[in-house]
Amino acid sequence: MNLSAPFICEFFKHVQEKVFPCIDYLFGNETEARTFSKVHGWETDWFITQGADPVVLAEDGKVKHFPVNLLPRQKLIDTNGAEKPDVK
């Protein structure tokens, strides 16, 4: 499941909580994750990673780190609302 947007975390907290038992993976960008943390009273945002930093997975009380495979800059594509790129 994707957190989708900060306002979803704020205004639909109880709806999100109802579906959490059915979720295997929860994704969110930095702003969504910070809002999610604040709404749930976690009082921390130390779990945020971004860029080339390792991906952090918290599962069953254990934390795992996965390295990011770096791509050449010309292969990076931002697909958020983008049209189909002209990749050669």
CA dist 33 and 26 (Å) reads 10
- Decide: pTM greater than 0.75: no
Output DSSP code: residue 19: H
Reported as a single tens digit per residue, the pLDDT across 52-70 is: 788 777 777 788 888 888 8
Would 82 be classed as within a structural domain?
A: no
Residue 45 has pLDDT above 80, yes or no: no
Would 60 be classed as within a structural domain?
A: yes
CA dist 19 and 34 (Å) reads 20
Q: Which domain holds residue 48?
A: 6-75
Q: Choose the weakest-confidence range: 12-21, 68-77, 78-87.
A: 78-87
Q: How confident is the model at residue 85 (pLDDT cuts 50, 70, 90)?
A: low
Would 22 be classed as within a structural domain?
A: yes
How many domains is the chain built from? 1
CA dist 46 and 5 (Å) reads 20
